Chains A and B, each alone.
Chain A
Amino acid sequence: MSDFFSGYQVGEFFDEMFAAPDSVRPHYSKLLGRFKEMARDDFERKRALAATTFLTQGITFTVYNDDQGTERIFPFDLVPRIIPAQEWDRVERGLVQRITALNLFLHDIYHNQNILRDGTIPKSIVWEAAHFRPEFMHFDVPGNVYIHICGTDLIRDRAGNYLVLEDNARCPSGVSYVLENRQAMKRVFPTLLGEYRVRPVEDYSQELLNVLRFVAPQGKSEPTVVLLTPGTYNSAYFEHSFLARSMGIEIVEGRDLVAQGGKVFMRTTKGLKQVDVIYRRINDDFLDPQVFRKDSGLGVPGLVEAYRNGSISLANAIGTGVADDKVVYHFVPKMIRYYLGEDPILPNVPTYLASVKEDLAYILEHIPELVIKAANESGGYGMLVGTQATQAECDDFRERVRQNPRNYIAQPVVPLSRAPAFCDEKMQGRHVDLRPYILYGEKVTIIPGGLTRVALTAGSLVVNSSQGGGSKDTWIIDEAETA
């Protein structure tokens, strides 16, 4: 008998596992039972096994702005996050609805711009978005799909409602952790996974490859698909290599590619070989120094020309960044109503736009109660959690917002739900979010669950790996399994 959960505090948050102290939610009861039977050294052994697995496999990420500066293991917490199927099905419907609307929006703003013409969304919001690419107006993408891979961050409020925090429509990362976490859990809790009949995630790579092959230029029945990485020093390099490996495709750097006569080739030991589909993990800005940033050494001169004449496909398409602009985010519920005539299934977090006069006044006055975010930053950079910031930090952001209102939004601090994590030798409630991965090719496919990130620092609301976050395996289980 072990005391992992003795003295566990639910606190004033929605707790994923406990409805109240000593009142476990039904879908977690079997897990709790297992932990009660587990001896402490058995648990320690499991933890060591998981850690060794990650270290020897080199499942690490790179932290920028750090002199130690190299690789770290993404901390992995052994307590899985469990979501009952019924709850998940609703989330899934909401995500399908959202990605459908976002793609219709992108097609619209790169063609007729109806949504801007009739004033549903202010023109300036799109035209001033840093990642809007007017160069690609009236450019058609295969199947009219722009965002082939999307990572949408979900959080739960105090009542347990799922809210969308942001959409990552450029190069979302983290899916390799979902797959590796599951591998680790299979080693560590083989029987429990079987008993719960957790929905598998292993076919993600195959689904991703299907999407990439689906978007190939017309007439390519056996397309050559490659993954374009910025290189080994990129923080997500492990993931790039992991995905390329599990799809059986080449991972290339910009210097491996050459564009000639409107086509793109890779340099092989047998000469040049034509490439058809590029799953690029490089942002638009760095793709082609002839078109975007001149100083980019990561891209391929002439790549965009090949893309324009249709000899290659890119996933995601160029210009999707406008959809994950945090100001545009505010308008996604409107898009859903506009394009689909439906009510949003998953609501947004209430958002104040600094570019709106009344909102700006409110933001400047209430910074210490708000979360301030730059419109185009990610990874937890360029944001301020007012409730946890110093006076000086608040003043600094107040000035930044005043200087450049279009670039900032503010949201109330959402008390993220918590889940038990093993910290300081016992189970403690830690804030979590959820990033499901959505694939859009011939149809929309969503990985069951996704990446649960957990802020391992007590009280912290920032779950990013670069800011001290860890992750958990996420289990979607059918109702019958909850009893």
Chain B
Amino acid sequence: MLSRVADSLFWMSRYIERAENNARIADVNLQLLLDLTNQPDSDPRQQWNPIISSLEENELFASLYSEPDGRAAIDFVSLQQRNANSIYACLAHARENARTTREQISSEMWEQVNRLYLFVQSNDARELLGSSPYEFFRRVMAGSHLFQGITHATMTHGEGFHFMRIGRLLERADCTSRLLDLKYHILLPSGERVGGNVDTIQWMSVLKSCSALEAYRKIYVDQVAPWKVAEFLITHDAFPRSIRFSVDSLDQALHSISGSDEARYANEAERLSGRLRSDLDYVTTGEIFKFGLHEYLESIQKRLIEINHATYEAYCAHPRTA
């Protein structure tokens, strides 16, 4: 497979996952606001700040909207063309990458990316976002799921497929870590205490944004507690959006490409992913909290970036000699 094509498949898949994750985050935040509106002195603006901050685009956001309220925040993460990570921008990037790899992906996959892109750039999408943001986010998420299903069912499960998996899983692991971290930044309204009603609602919303609340409930029957949520989203071995599960699958995908044994490594990317994988296998919640949840999540994000670079070096940085 051409190196450029492998890189494009990686990014196509990663951008679709990112669009989906943006929709998840925005959707949950919106619901959270509804939950909190009857709380005294809750400031909806404050509620969107961590999300804008996590995109690292505070200045751009402030420069684009004279009234930086919730409506502006929703527009910014959804359809704002100048935000390079808005849902619109992610899907435009995904489609551009799909366009350059059309001979590698199935027609059905292309049509789905294209349909999704045509939707977010239509007036219908803008109207829907205004009248029923919930519906809008659902459509983006469902569109991403449909794409993944189509990919699974119509694309040869060969090299290209595995590069797509790597893109998606890196993004997913990164997103789950950021969602957990987001709670770290969300300030409790004054007068509320840790472990109180609002705190619990916020932790539940983190679970919801990962489609994890129901799965969580099946395992932990009692209260939603921070360390349990963290344990679930970081170390659960079978929940598809947990960091551990994503890194396991990522490591498998890397080995599928090189054909090497999963107990060994054939290149730097596999060495790094193997090491992260075993760390996640054996880490305890106690250790995570002792280390500091925020610090731990940051270190995971850093290691995911290293795996990304090493993968690029192994397969896509153009070899110069035969």
* Contact among A56, A237, A253 with B111 in the assembled complex (CB-CB below 8 Å): A56
A108 touches B (CB below 8 Å): no
Q: How far is the CA of A463 from the CA of B159 in the complex (A)?
A: 43
Query: Of A244, A255, A260, which is within 8 A of B4 by CB?
Result: A255
Take A55-B118, A57-B111, A269-B159 as given contacts and tell me if A245 and B321 are in contact as well, using a CB distance cutoff of 8 Å: no
Distance in angstroms between the alpha carbons of A252 and B118 in the assembled complex = 27
User: A255–B319 Cα gap in the complex (Å)?
Assistant: 12
Question: Could you say which of B6, B99, B118, B159 contacts A232, with CB atoms under 8 Å apart?
Answer: B99
Chain A-chain B contacts (Cβ-Cβ < 8 Å), number: 67
* CB of B290 within 8 Å of the partner chain: no
Q: Say yes or no: is B114 at the interface (Cβ < 8 Å to chain A).
A: yes
Is A251 interfacial (CB 8 A cutoff)?
yes
Contact check, B322 vs A256: say whether CB atoms are below 8 A apart: no
Q: Let me know if B316 is at the binding interface, CB within 8 A.
A: yes
**Residues of B close to A250: CB separation below 8 A:** 2, 5, 103
Contact A57 B107 (CB under 8 A): yes
**Measured between C-beta atoms, what is the minimum distance from A424 to chain B in Å?**
25
Question: With A250-B2, A269-B1 given, is the CB distance from A260 to B321 under 8 Å?
Answer: yes
Once the chains are docked, how many angstroms separate the CA of A271 from the CA of B319? Answer: 6
Contact with A along B82-108 (1 / 0, CB 8 A): 000000000000001001101100010
Q: Is A268 an interface residue (CB 8 A)?
A: yes
Instruction: Report the Cα distance A255→B2, complex, angstroms.
Output: 11
Is residue A49 within 8 Å, beta carbon to beta carbon, of the partner chain?
no
A192 within 8 Å of B by Cβ? no
Mask of B304-321 contacts with A, CB within 8 angstroms, 1/0: 000000000001101111
Determine the residue in chain B with the shortest Cβ distance to A274. B322
**What range describes how many residues of A lie at the interface?**
20 to 34
Closest to B107 in A: A57
CB nearest to B117 among chain A residues: A58
In the bound complex, residues from chain A placing their C-beta under 8 Å from that of B6 are 269
Instruction: Report the bound CA distance from A241 to B102 in whole Å.
Output: 6
Interface string of B108-145 (1 = CB under 8 A from A): 00110011001000000000000000000000000000
Q: Is A267 an interface residue (CB 8 A)?
A: yes
**How many whole Å from B184's CB to the nearest CB in chain A?**
38
- When the two chains form the complex, which single residue of A242, A249, A253, A272 contacts B319, counting CB atoms closer than 8 Å? A272
**B 1-31 binary contact with A (CB < 8 Å = 1; else 0):** 1111110000000000000000000000000
In the complex, A256 Cα to B111 Cα: how many Å?
Answer: 26
Q: What separation, in Å, do the CA atoms of A260 and B111 have in the docked complex?
A: 38
Contact call A267/B103, Cβ cutoff below 8 A: no
CA distance A40 to B96 in the complex (A): 38
Docked Cα-Cα span, A258 to B2, in Å, equals: 12
Complex Cα distance, B103 from A250, in Å, reads 7
- Residues on the A chain within 8 Å of B321, using CB: 260, 272
Contacts A56-B111, A237-B99 hold; do A265 and B2 have CB atoms under 8 A apart? Answer: no
CB pair A267 B99 closer than 8 Å: no
Q: Indicate if the CB atoms of A241 and B103 lie closer than 8 Å.
A: yes
B-side interface mostly: helix
The CA-CA distance from A253 to B257 in the complex, in Å, is 24
- Of chain A, the residue at the smallest CB distance from B96 is A232
Residues of A within 8 A of B1 (CB): 268-270
Question: What CA separation (Å) do A249 and B103 show in the bound complex?
Answer: 8
User: What are the interface flags for A189-210 relative to B under an 8 Å C-beta threshold, 1 for contact and 0 otherwise?
Assistant: 0000000000000000000000
- Closest B residue to A251 by beta carbon equals B103
- Within A152-201, the residues touching B (CB, 8 Å) are none
The listed residue with most A CB atoms (<10 A of its CB), out of B4, B110, B315, is B4
Verify if A266 is at the interface (C-beta below 8 Å from B): yes
| B-facing residues in A48-68 (Cβ within 8 Å) | 55-58
Question: How far, in whole Å, are A261 and B4 apart by their CA atoms in the complex?
Answer: 23
Bound-complex Cα distance A253 to B118 (A): 26
> Digit string of A264-306 for contact with B (CB within 8 Å is 1, else 0)?
0111111110000000000000000000000000000000000
**Which of the residues B107, B111, B322 comes within 8 Å of A272, measured between beta carbons?**
B322
Contacts of B2 in A (CB 8 A): 250, 252, 256, 266-269
Per the bound structure, the CA–CA distance linking A56 and B114 in Å amounts to 6
Given A267-B4, A267-B319, A268-B2, the answer on whether A244 and B103 have CB atoms closer than 8 Å is yes
| Chain A, residue nearest B317 (CB) | A267
For the complex, give the distance between the alpha carbons of A292 and B19 in Å. Answer: 43
Determine which of A242, A251, A267 lies in contact with B3 in the assembled complex, contact meaning CB atoms within 8 Å. A267
Report whether A58 and B3 are in contact in the complex, using a CB–CB cutoff of 8 Å. Answer: no
Chain B CB within 10 A, most for which of A237, A244, A266, A268: A268
Seen from chain B, the residues whose Cβ lies within 8 Å of a Cβ on chain A are 1-6, 96, 99-100, 102-103, 107, 110-111, 114-115, 118, 159, 257, 315-316, 318-322
Could you name 11 residue pairs across A and B whose Cβ atoms are closer than 8 Å? A232-B100, A256-B2, A260-B322, A265-B322, A267-B318, A268-B3, A269-B1, A269-B3, A269-B315, A269-B316, A271-B322
5 interchain residue pairs of minimum CB distance = A245-B103, A269-B315, A241-B102, A244-B103, A272-B322
